[in-house]
Amino acid sequence: MSTRSKKKSPRAGRAAGRDAVGGRSKTPRGRASLADEAAEAGDTGRVTSGPSDANAARVRAFLAERDTLISFDDLHEALVSRGMTLERAELGAVLVELEQHGEVIRNRRGAFGLTERMDLVRGKVLAHRDGYGFLVPDRGGDDVFLSPRQMRAIMHGDRALVSIIGYDNRGRSEGALIEVIERDVKRLVGTFEREAGVCYVVPDNSRLRHDILISEPPEAAPSELRAIDPQGIARGSIVVVEIDHYPTKRSPPTGRVIEVLGEHMVPGMEIDVAIRAYDLPSEFPDDALAESAALGEAVAEADKRDRVDLRHLLLVTIDGEDARDFDDAVYCEPRPSGWMLWVAIADVSAYVTQDSALDVEARRRGNSVYFPNRVLPMLPESLSNGLCSLRPDVDRLCMVCEMLIDRRGAITRSRFYEGLMRSRARLTYTTVAEVIEQRDPAARAALAELTPHLDELYALYAALRTAREARGALELDTVESYIIFDHDNRVSEIRARLRNDAHRLIEECMIAANVAAARFVQRQRLPALYRVHEGPKAERLEQLRAFLDSLDLRLGGGNNPQPEHFCALLEQVREDPRSPLVQTMLLRSLAQAVYRPDNLGHFGLGLKAYAHFTSPIRRYP
């Protein structure tokens, strides 16, 4: 039996009951009705500002008189009795808006109350492995502390409604659970245990504090009810559990074992555990696979028409030795004023059309997931490693950014179009660095046809690099590591992945294409997502300066430091053993880059407008 934090044995609640706080329940009529009423009013719940019309004001005023929740039907009846000419659909739309803005609380049964009047807080629960937890409010503000007693009926990740009952000795607001609004964990991975004939599973995730009591599968279980007889499972096995009943204040959660990963943890099983624990999709649905198979293995002749034919250009891909898909290629030629640069990316949209089965599945996955020796692709491998991979010596459909770049590294002209290409080589950063940076005779001889092209790319890189330095863009050479496994899937070595000029060359070519993309959507006034990186906030800047003071270092720029001031600091400590620490703290002071529909520039790169021109093979978008 688990010994974690003196938890009670699940045997105490083998007949898992359900109360108002836990357990599964059917969707209440009030909640479903609200969605229907709102839909009839033409409201989808998407609002850009707070509700301010007369109806919303009168609903607010009525709810402010009450200190208990009221059902949708009773609320509508009460408002009509006060003389309001308010249709049910209109009331539904008003309540949706008020709830969206955190002004109204709705419980699972579809009853409503004014948030400030109820002194209720709704949010997401973050559990601590020591048994207590916190509720992160939807409306913002300080987290609400939840004692181990309150956490009995809640699991990590659940959405819950709590009331504020006081403050602890550290001044934190403390809450009492009113109800669980939405359960987060449906399945989990853990270790199967058996004690005195009682079977239970100890979750692998230490934030999940409840042991799961394993139910005996019914003798006549329906075929869709997956369950493995626990009597045939060895103690200590790593299993996947599907939860049947959630914990309450009086009983533990119960569930069924639906998969046995192994009798004990072995090298390589960590990946299977992670896939199940985070519910990562590892299989594609049949309709998506059927669409992928129907596309074939080669580009159809009909698809090649009406595209700019670039098969005469010496386009090449340059990636790491362990790259699995190749989605961008580069080529440049000298011009009197500088260079013409082509950046070609795989044209995924030619195969994955909007709302197709492939598109729906890619959107659901969101991105490919990379493990050290395995990948869960966003698209089936026949696309990600086939038609949408720019492999050598085969025709591929592509989107092209063609740029004229002067000798100062400035983009003077650019255009975008659909192209047809044929990669001449799959090159690695190591090989290209040997050619252009180390000028290794053997490497240059082996790539004799491509060497002049690579030399021109290197000259272009020097110009782009000069422009980068003139902008004062941040230069953070962080060290990335990679893992080497032996034949038994055991980690044999961890190595640093060193950057060379070939990495930086590709990086600058892609930055140029991204800048051209941002300018294009601005010129065309198209709705688009920009890649935005804001400067440091005052609070983080103050913390960084305090840290630097302790090292007798200074950051220039006063209250508004620019990228060049950060660059000067990094240059100051470049040969200092404290450099990695300073770089880490500097990174923490900066905001994360995000996608936004409004352009706020990119602080780190010193650019006024920046977007992403990238092939959606690995990420959606």
Whether residue 427 is found in the same domain as residue 349 = yes
**Mean pLDDT across the stretch 115-123?**
80
Q: Which residue has the higher pLDDT, 463 or 93?
A: 463
State the pLDDT at residue 225: 56
Whether residue 225 is found in the same domain as residue 341 = no
| 325 dihedral zone (left: phi>0; alpha: psi -120 to 50; beta) | beta
State the pLDDT at residue 218: 61
Whether residue 403 is found in the same domain as residue 331 = yes
Note whether 587 and 476 are within 8 A (CB).
yes
**Mean pLDDT across the stretch 36-42?**
42
At 106, is the pLDDT very low, low, confident or very high (cuts 50, 70, 90)? confident
Range of the structural domain that residue 457 is part of: 286-503
Average per-residue pLDDT in the chain? 87
Q: From 278, 306, 321, give the residue that closes a domain.
A: 278
Note whether 2 and 202 are within 8 A (CB).
yes
The Cα angle at residue 438 between residues 433 and 439, in degrees rounded to 5: 100
Residues 6+ apart with CB under 8 A from 482: 322, 372, 494, 495, 497
State the pLDDT at residue 121: 87
**Mean pLDDT across the stretch 96-105?**
82
Whether residue 239 is found in the same domain as residue 264 = yes
Residues 6+ apart with CB under 8 A from 105: 69, 99, 112, 113, 114, 115, 118, 120, 122, 161
Whether residue 303 is found in the same domain as residue 428 = yes
At 3, is the pLDDT very low, low, confident or very high (cuts 50, 70, 90)? very low
Evaluate if residue 220 carries a pLDDT over 70. Answer: no
Note whether 483 and 267 are within 8 A (CB).
no
Least confident of 62-76, 213-227, 304-318: 213-227
Q: From 503, 520, 549, give the residue that closes a domain.
A: 503
At 490, is the pLDDT very low, low, confident or very high (cuts 50, 70, 90)? confident
The Cα angle at residue 516 between residues 513 and 520, in degrees rounded to 5: 135
Evaluate if residue 176 carries a pLDDT over 90. Answer: no
What are 323-380's pLDDT values in tens digits? 888 999 999 999 999 999 999 999 999 999 999 999 999 999 999 999 887 899 999 9
Q: Is residue 611 part of a domain?
A: no
Q: Which residue has the higher pLDDT, 34 or 486?
A: 486
Q: From 450, 485, 503, give the residue that closes a domain.
A: 503
Whether residue 269 is found in the same domain as residue 178 = yes
Q: Is residue 575 part of a domain?
A: no
Angle, in degrees to the nearest 10, between helices 29-40 and 72-81 = 60
Whether residue 302 is found in the same domain as residue 359 = yes
Q: Which residue has the higher pLDDT, 25 or 616?
A: 616
Whether residue 360 is found in the same domain as residue 314 = yes
Whether residue 297 is found in the same domain as residue 251 = no
Whether residue 236 is found in the same domain as residue 314 = no
Name the nearest CA neighbour of 134 among 125, 121, 249, 142: 125
Number of structural domains in the chain: 3
Whether residue 242 is found in the same domain as residue 292 = no
Q: Is residue 193 part of a domain?
A: yes
Residues 6+ apart with CB under 8 A from 76: 86, 88, 91
Cα distance between residue 547 and residue 615, in whole Å: 40
What are 491-504's pLDDT values in tens digits? 889 988 889 999 99
At 593, is the pLDDT very low, low, confident or very high (cuts 50, 70, 90)? very high
Whether residue 62 is found in the same domain as residue 165 = no
Note whether 484 and 493 are within 8 A (CB).
yes
HSE on the CB side for 446, CA within 13 Å? 11
With tokens 């069924």, the residue in question is 256
What are 261-277's pLDDT values in tens digits? 988 777 778 888 889 88
Question: Which helix (H) or strand (E) covers residue 436, if one does?
Answer: helix 429-436
CATH number at residue 185: 2.40.50.140
Residues 6+ apart with CB under 8 A from 141: none
At 135, is the pLDDT very low, low, confident or very high (cuts 50, 70, 90)? very high
What are 506-538's pLDDT values in tens digits? 999 999 999 999 999 999 999 999 999 999 999
